[in-house]
A = this chain, B = another copy of it.
Amino acid sequence: MQKAIQKRTIKTRAKLLSAAEAVVRSDGYQALRVEDVVKAAGVAKGTFFAHFNDKDALMEILIGERLNACLDQAEAGTPPKTVDEIIVALEPVHSFMTSERYVFDLLIRYSGATAIEDIGPIAYCFERYFRVVMLWLEAADMRKDVPPELLAEGVQAFAIQAMSLRFCALHSATTFTDRLETYLDAWLTPTS
């Protein structure tokens, strides 16, 4: 029996979330301080941690929301058929994922669910990314010697690699898009 959630609870939670969103809007994710959020929401610090396990849990919600919106956008257009089209279609997603170093690090850290029961918002988004890409690949003219699931996992791996290198001074000669295109050409349409 897990009942009796008071109306107050959802109101407080909403106050915390909108206060947090306001902070992020004005100063970015990296700058968010729990103390600022609770002050803006008009509640005590302890209340924050009654609603979210830790600061990261709030971040997961905020970032997961935005990432889901980006994935909506990616899914909205006509399914891409070529490598270039796939990269274009995923651009909003990748752009948000690399919008802040802090965001990227957090995404990577929570990309996998630590326990089956609690798959977090970010792990869910990674699953969704995988699924979306897989469906595109199934319908596109790509190599057929390996299953589309594997191809999609590879796209994810290469996208993460390319995004990592975006933050790396040593490899800044090549742009993110060019690098990802090189990777995916070699992965999705080999000619050996």
Contact = CB atoms under 8 A, between A and B. Distances in A.
Query: What's the dominant secondary structure at chain A's contact region?
Result: helix
Contacts of A156: 161
A10 B111 CA distance: 41
A114 interface: yes
A111 B191 CA distance: 31
Interface in A143-192: 143-146, 150, 153-154, 156-158, 160-161, 164-165, 167-171, 182-183, 186-187, 190-192
- Chain copies in the assembled complex: 2
Contacts of A111: 164, 168
A112 B154 contact: no
A169 B51 CA distance: 25
22 contacts: A105-B109, A111-B168, A112-B169, A112-B170, A112-B171, A114-B167, A114-B169, A116-B169, A116-B170, A123-B170, A145-B186, A145-B192, A146-B186, A146-B190, A153-B183, A154-B183, A154-B186, A154-B187, A157-B160, A157-B161, A160-B161, A187-B187
Interface of A: 105, 108-109, 111-116, 119, 123, 127, 143-146, 150, 153-154, 156-158, 160-161, 164-165, 167-171, 182-183, 186-187, 190-192
